[in-house]
Amino acid sequence: MHKPQRPCLLLAAFLMAMIVSSCARSQPAPSTSAGKGCVENFDVATDYFPEKATIEFAENIAVEYRRFYKVVTVKRPSEGGIAERYVLVLCGAPRPLLPAELAGAPVIPVPISSMFSDSATHMPLLVELGRVDVLTGINEARYVTTEPVLDRIRQGLAIEYAPNYVINTELVLAKKPAMMMVGGGYPEEYKTIRKAGIPVVINTEWEESTALGRAEWLKYMAFFLNEEAKAQRSFDGIRDRYMALRERTRALPRTQRPRVMTGVAVRGMFEVSGGESYVSKLIADAGGDYVWSDNTSRGVMTVDLEEQIARASNADFWINGGQWESLKGMLREEPRYKQFKPLREGRVWLYNRLVNAAGAHDYWSRGVTRPDLILEDLIKIFHPELASQHEFVWYKQVPAE
């Protein structure tokens, strides 16, 4: 049998290697990793979002990942409103061919380079993600309590676009932020801004019925920044700490759970947290027995003042009331408050430990992102022996005078 000569085999192998090497060089590799930069050489087969976040507690948001874009849904943008969807395309990638149900959805290149915000609750999300650098506009500076954001305002890196609740549309259009994030509703100015090509996206974390569900909107912010991995790690830490704190009170029998009331009198009525609200669930997780726990409202509800007296006159603690400086001041505001045992015994607590000169509460800003700290404050109020090493973050006892 004729055997090929060895030099021929070596030459053939060499030529084949050259061909393979040349072909490999002619196929450009994607130039971005994990969605951290823009695509320079697009490859349709590459998953550009390997770092994905999953939604665990938030009921009002959802995300679907495609190879080079993601579809983010706010299921209930307003009371009775239809779902809103946003198509987030990795910058540098081609605009995707979208199905009919996404035909009107805003298409937003991500990661965004700048944003305007109309709510103080958005700012701690940026701090938690280490991305305050993208914030270039806020509605009203006087309501900001987040120090890194205040620094940006002082340096002129973030401007005020809606002083005294009036949106300066011309200023917004001139600055051309990559996105506006708003807390709810669409005034005429936002419609004009949308028509000008600036995406207006809604953030309704305040509609969530659990504290962890509200905090999980950290991931919503991360979708626009391609910071899912960081958001997942941060939220997991907050969740685990919250769960560990909750375990301290889970075994307490009802006889050891103090009765807790909330709210404030308003023109003969009483505004309280509903029985299915996040506040009610925080009270339960902190080892309290909420006086309206059998109610099915998920938000704030209004009851007759006499009905509140009948339900809560013998409560042990009163939290989350008005802007009270003293117990005497409470009685001057509403003499019938004296019928509530927590006032008579000096057990009224408010979240006013951190308030700026304009009266803005840090609780309503950073508290959304850190429910674990709220829970520990409440545990120390209801069961001080279970949180003896904790220093209060937001809550403070109302003094007698």
pLDDT of 165: 83
pLDDT of 398: 98
What pTM value is reported for the model?
A: 0.89
- Residue spans of the domains in the chain: they are 61-234, 251-397
Cα separations in angstroms, 193 against 34, 113, 150, 332: 31, 18, 25, 46
- Cβ burial, residue 170 (10 Å; 0-12/13-18/19+): exposed
Sign of the torsion formed by the C-alpha atoms of 301, 307, 311 and 314: positive
Long-range contacts of 86-89 (CB under 8 A, 24+ apart): 86/199, 86/201, 88/223, 88/224
Residue 334 carries which side chain, given as an amino acid letter? E
Contact 252, 137 (CB under 8 A): no
Q: Evaluate whether 61-234 and 251-397 have a shared fold.
A: yes
CA-CA distance, 72 to 86, in Å (whole number)?
A: 5
b vs e for 254-292, b when ≥16 Cβ sit within 10 Å of the residue's Cβ?
Answer: eeebbbbbbbbbeeebbbbbbbbbbbbbbbbbbbbbbbb
pLDDT of 43: 95
- Look up the CATH number of domain 61-234: 3.40.50.1980
pLDDT of 16: 40
pLDDT of 36: 64
CA-CA distance, 48 to 29, in Å (whole number)?
A: 12
pLDDT tens, the chain, 401 aa long? 444 444 433 333 333 444 333 333 333 444 444 456 899 999 999 999 999 999 999 999 999 999 999 999 999 988 777 899 999 999 999 999 999 999 889 999 999 999 999 999 999 999 999 999 999 999 999 999 999 999 999 999 999 999 988 999 999 999 999 999 999 766 788 999 999 999 999 999 999 999 999 999 999 999 999 999 999 999 999 999 999 999 999 999 999 999 999 999 999 899 999 999 999 999 999 999 999 999 999 999 999 999 999 999 999 999 999 999 999 999 999 999 999 999 999 999 999 999 998 999 999 999 999 999 999 999 999 999 999 999 999 999 999 99
Bridge partners for 349 per DSSP: 319, 397
- Look up the CATH number of domain 251-397: 3.40.50.1980
b vs e for 52-81, b when ≥16 Cβ sit within 10 Å of the residue's Cβ?
Answer: ebeeebbebbebebeebbbbbebbbbeeee
pLDDT of 3: 40
pLDDT of 164: 84
Contact 338, 307 (CB under 8 A): no
